[in-house]
Amino acid sequence: DTFDMRNGETIARVRVAAVDSPEKNQPFGPEAKRLTEKMSLERTVTVRWKDYDKRYDRYIGYVNCPGNKDLGETLLKAGLAWHYRAYDKDDVLQGMEDEARKSHRGLWKDEKNACAPWDWRHGKKTAFFK
């Protein structure tokens, strides 16, 4: 859910707004990375800026990829991200996560053992992921 974007000679770190994907060393992290790369790597994307994160020196925004596909929405629908409710209250995005859970897509194949990235980063890994 974070990547480097080139705009001419400028490179900016971008975090996809409203979603949180598994970490790269977390189950389903590599799948989330592959989907993000498939949609955005070496492609022209449009970012609608939402905020700037000084702590991590990155911009936060909604990423529109070729084919008019929203990257955050695509990750949610594929079951490769959580809707980041702590920072976004959009009911439509929450519905996308809920539908992926209900359909057991991606990381929701075993929902009771899914570990949110914010817990994973703080060492609260479940036994399933050890």
Query: What integer pLDDT is reported at residue 124 of this predicted model?
Result: 66
Q: Per the residue annotation, which of 6, 9, 13, 23 is the catalytic one?
A: 23
Query: What integer pLDDT is reported at residue 112 of this predicted model?
Result: 77
**Is 101 noted as a catalytic residue in this protein?**
no
Q: Per the residue annotation, which of 58, 99, 101, 105 is the catalytic one?
A: 58
Query: What integer pLDDT is reported at residue 121 of this predicted model?
Result: 86
- Report how far residue 108's alpha carbon sits from residue 22's, in angstroms, rounded to the nearest whole number: 12
- Report how far residue 52's alpha carbon sits from residue 56's, in angstroms, rounded to the nearest whole number: 9
Q: Per the residue annotation, which of 6, 9, 13, 15 is the catalytic one?
A: 15
**Is 15 noted as a catalytic residue in this protein?**
yes
- Report how far residue 1's alpha carbon sits from residue 17's, in angstroms, rounded to the nearest whole number: 8
- Per DSSP, 129 falls in state G
pTM of the model: 0.90
- Report how far residue 76's alpha carbon sits from residue 98's, in angstroms, rounded to the nearest whole number: 9
Query: What integer pLDDT is reported at residue 126 of this predicted model?
Result: 56
Q: Which residues pair with 58 in a beta bridge?
A: 53
Task: Provide the residue-wise pLDDT of the chain in tens; the chain has 130 residues.
Answer: 899 999 889 999 999 999 999 999 999 999 999 999 999 999 999 999 999 999 999 999 999 999 999 999 999 999 999 999 999 999 999 999 999 999 999 999 987 778 999 899 888 665 444 3
